Amino acid sequence: MSKIKIAELFYSVQGEGRYMGVPSVFLRTFGCNFKCAGFGMPKGQLSTEADAIAQIADKFKLYEELPLVSTGCDSYASWDPRFKDLSPMLTSDAIADRISEIIPFNEWRDEHLVITGGEPL
């Protein structure tokens, strides 16, 4: 059975775009073909926040424990190989089981499934 590396799987309310306010399950895959580090930085400079966190990466046992960053990619841990061990490989059955556990009433109603990343494709 094939597996996919999953950084995060959680239930929340969509906070942006056309479907703002819709109850949703967010499935964040691991991996990205970019390394955006310029957000929030002066022109021509790159953030080093993720580098600083990687120096103490062994302090963190869960993806959710990692600090937020204010510059660079705010999803850094979902693609940076230095944090890959915090994202398990899951089968589609395991993903479906986890979704059933986190949605209200343990059944799919009108929730959306938002597949994000990283770069999910």
Which residues of this protein are in contact with ligand SF4, per CB under 6 A?
32, 34-36, 73, 75, 79, 117-119
> Of 49 and 117, which has the nearer Cβ to ligand SF4?
117
Query: How many whole angstroms separate alpha carbon 12 and alpha carbon 3?
Result: 24
CB of residue 44 to ligand SF4, shortest distance in Å: 17
> Of 53 and 117, which has the nearer Cβ to ligand SF4?
117
> Of 31 and 99, which has the nearer Cβ to ligand SF4?
31
Residue identified by tokens 């999953």 is: 6
Q: Cβ atoms within 10 A of the Cβ of 18, count?
A: 6
CB of residue 97 to ligand SF4, shortest distance in Å: 26
**Is the distance from CB of 31 to CB of 118 less than 8 angstroms?**
yes
Q: 54-69 b/e with 16+ CB inside 10 Å = b?
A: beeeeebeebeebeeb
CB of residue 104 to ligand SF4, shortest distance in Å: 28
> Of 39 and 108, which has the nearer Cβ to ligand SF4?
39
